[in-house]
Amino acid sequence: MLIFGDVARTFQELESKSGRLEMTDILAELFKKTTAGEIDKLAYLIQGQLAPPYEGIDLGVGERFVVEAIAHSAGYSPEQVDRHYKKSGDLGATAEELLSKKKQQALSVREMDIAYVYNAFMKIARSGGPGSQELKIKLLTELLNNASALEARFIVRFALGRLRLGVGDPTILDALSVATVGDKSMREPLDRAYNVCSDIGYVAKTYLESPEKIKGFRVQPFKPLMPALAERLSTPKEIMGKLGKCGVEMKYDGFRLQCHKKANKVELYSRKLERMTLMLPEVVREVEGLKAKELIFEGEALAYDAKHKRYFSFQETMHRKRKHGIKEAQKELPLNVFCFDILYLDGRDMTNEPYAERRRALETLFPKGILRASECRLVENTAELEKLFQESITSGLEGIMAKDLNAPYTAGKRKFAWIKLKKSYGKAVDTVDGVIVGYYLGKGSRAEFEFGGLLIAVRNEDTGKLETVAKIGSGFSEDEMVSFEKMLDKIKAKEPPEDLVYLIEAPDFWVEPKYVVEVAFDEITKSPTHTCGLREGNGKGYALRFPRLVQVRKDKAVKDATTTSEVEEMFGLQHSRS
Ligand code: ATP
């Protein structure tokens, strides 16, 4: 039985470390004490969640609830807790300190194991309806009553979604391997399993029950795969040089959908793997009507005006991602799904089959209709590729996707199995999907606005840190300024994000890293003020020259933002372009 005290002590130790290797070993020691029945719960808690995101399980406790629960449990008034929190800036630390000075001892304190804590959180998440607020506070208070001061620190941070141990998924997978076989040799099969089901708890549990099952792990309906991602190259010639004869598909600019079906049940998932089933009833109906009994496929959903044969823009299409007014939206923005890959068909896991094979299956499955196969042609030389690219732009599409005929589906990975070639934005050479980490107040004629610019960072995959790459100070419309002000005011923070590495002067406000924006730019330059790609010895980081906002990428989470190594690659591509 894994005692929660051991978990909290390990979390405390993890907090003081930053090296991946050290963190892996510390976690591996904890995993050695964990049974197959407990490991899923532990893995979810480390990720700061109770289940994979597509299950939609949310604790639903705000700061107010947590303050109340700490007050009840520690015997203080909510105002006293608030006052302490103002000083500490971290409710976890406040809970720890106030509980260590606990005025009224709870009558019976039980030692908690991981299952007890996890189940209590589940109960909090599942309580809904009238009176649920009181119930949530009561359940959290009970949990704190049984907790030591150190345990309380992590319970509170978890409840607020601010656990942030700095442990990424790759470290969890490495630690599972080290805990069981003493080295990282099981990392690869674990990684594949995780990429094709996106459920860390399920992978960890399956692995402890049977390592063999992980080696032969198969995709399953209703466990969404992490989307395969495309590399970028700048010219048709480079693409042909890399792939040779290849499949070239039109690149549609809508939102990505992963559709799952088994018997009568259908679920649709977004690029972030959130469930979208209820929002798109017409797509669900079409998938239900397909002959295949069990199926997973992917496509790009795009609003299409059949009467005028016109694609709606990405911005217009995105209005379909809504929870209300679905009937009206369906009429105004009817969707077509351009299906571009098939991953599972009636018991056959197709992810390891070559693209050419998957494409054959796809084309027989989707005749014309709302669901239809994306346009695709076999291309043998640069001139043909160039021609298709021009065709795509003239018909209002975004560019093309060139695909390696022999490549498997590279779930969760950005590989040269797919290469994108996109039209450019005015003078801009490319775009970066960056994380907003801070913002500025309006200046001069725009001083009336509580918003005037954004500080943008990208993700360093090797270190798990965010690194700044641009400050966007102009080019916002008044509507955009108002909407950013509203959006960012809610996530203002006193301190810079914990994972941020920066040299630039602090912005007017820091924010919790939550939103991703697409930023166009003219060039990538070396910069003394930005930390993207800055390493000991190389002196300068990368910065975006003339950065400007293209749009907010609501379909991307922080973990999907552009990485430092992608910026580095784009920097390299600039030279090949010129
Ligand atoms: P990425 O998904 O690579 O992180 P992104 O979301 O900014 O980047 P793009 O760079 O525009 O998107 O290109 C990849 C996306 O293109 C895919 O995620 C998918 O949604 C979309 N797409 C459109 N048409 C196709 C197609 N025929 N094949 C594959 N993907 C396509």
Per-residue model confidence as pLDDT tens digits over 417-455 = 999 998 775 555 679 999 999 999 887 777 777 898 999
CA of 112 to the centre of ligand 1 (A): 46
Inform me whether the pLDDT recorded for 299 exceeds 90. Answer: yes
pLDDT bucket at 105, cuts 50 / 70 / 90: low
Residue 230 Cα to ligand 1 middle (Å):
7
E strands, 196-334, where?
229-232, 246-251, 255-262, 265-269, 294-305, 310-311
Q: Is the pLDDT of residue 23 over 90?
A: yes
Distance CA 549, CA 475 (A): 7
Q: Give the model's pLDDT for residue 341.
A: 98
> What pLDDT, on a 0 to 100 scale, did the predictor assign at position 191?
97
Query: In the block, which residue shows the tokens 């003239």?
Result: 394
- Give the chain's mean pLDDT: 91
The residue whose C-alpha atom lies closest to atom 7 belonging to ligand 1 is 433
**Tell me, what's the pLDDT at 357?**
98
Using the 8-state DSSP alphabet, how is residue 3 labeled?
B
Q: Which of 41, 205, 223, 251 is catalytic?
A: 251
List pLDDT tens digits, range 451-510: 989 999 999 988 889 999 999 988 888 889 999 999 999 899 888 998 899 999 999 999
Hey, what domains does the chain have and what are their CATH numbers? Answer: 4-159 (1.10.3260.10), 229-422 (3.30.470.30), 430-577 (2.40.50.140)
User: What element of type H or E holds 545?
Assistant: strand 541-545
Which DSSP helix (H) or strand (E) runs through 128?
A: none
Helix (H, G, I), strand (E, B), or coil: what is residue 118? helix
Instruction: State in Å: Cα 72 to ligand 1 middle.
Output: 50
Rg of the chain in Å (alpha carbons)? 25
* Closest approach atom of ligand 1 to CA 376: 27
pLDDT value for 189: 97
**Residue 139 dihedral angles phi and psi, to the nearest 5°:** -65, -40
pLDDT number for residue 425: 54
- Is pLDDT at 104 greater than 70 in this prediction? no
Among 371, 420, 423, 431, name the best residue to mutate to test ligand 1's pocket (greatest count of ligand atoms within 8 A of Cβ).
Answer: 420
Statement: residue 73 has pLDDT above 70: yes
Largest CA distance in the chain: 80
Q: Would the pLDDT of 103 be above 70?
A: no
Helix (H) or strand (E) holding 362: helix 355-365
Host H or E run for residue 456: strand 453-459
How far apart are the C-alpha atoms of 403 and 243, rounded to whole Å? 8
The closest alpha carbon to 72, from 124, 125, 144, belongs to: 144
First-residue to last-residue Cα distance in the chain = 62
By the 8 A CB rule, do 572 and 231 touch? no
pLDDT of residue 107: 54
**556 Cβ neighbours under 8 A, 6+ residues apart:** 271, 272, 433, 516
Residues 6+ apart with CB under 8 A from 59: 50, 121, 124, 125, 159, 161
Quote the pLDDT of residue 106.
Answer: 52
In whole angstroms, give the CA distance from residue 518 to residue 11. 34
Out of 297-301, 487-491, 533-537, the most confident range is 297-301
Q: Is the pLDDT of residue 226 over 80?
A: yes
What confidence score (pLDDT) does residue 331 get? 80
Question: Pocket residues for ligand 1 (CB within 6 Å)?
Answer: 227, 229-230, 249, 251-252, 256, 271, 300, 340, 374, 401, 420, 433
Contact 42, 34 (CB under 8 A): yes
Nearest atom, ligand 1, residue 255 CA: 20
Which of 225, 226, 229 is the pocket-test mutation for ligand 1 (most atoms within 8 Å of CB)? 229
Assign 537 a pLDDT band (cuts: 50, 70, 90): confident
| Residue 251 designated active-site | yes
166 has a pLDDT exceeding 70:
yes
The pick from 252, 421, 559 for probing ligand 1's pocket by mutation, whose C-beta has the most ligand atoms within 8 angstroms, reads: 252
> pLDDT tens digit string along 31-72?
999 999 999 999 999 999 999 989 989 887 889 999 999 999
Four-CA torsion 402, 404, 408, 411, nearest 10 degrees: -30
pLDDT digits (tens, 9 = 90+) for 258-296: 999 999 999 999 999 999 999 999 999 999 999 999 999
> Each residue of 355-388: pLDDT tens digit?
999 999 999 999 778 899 999 999 999 999 999 9
Q: What is the C-alpha to C-alpha distance for residues 361 and 378, in angstroms, rounded to an integer? A: 16
Residue 514 three-state SS: coil
CA of 62 from ligand 1 middle (Å) equals 35
- pLDDT at position 228 over 90: yes
Please tell me whether residue 536 adopts helix, strand or coil conformation: coil
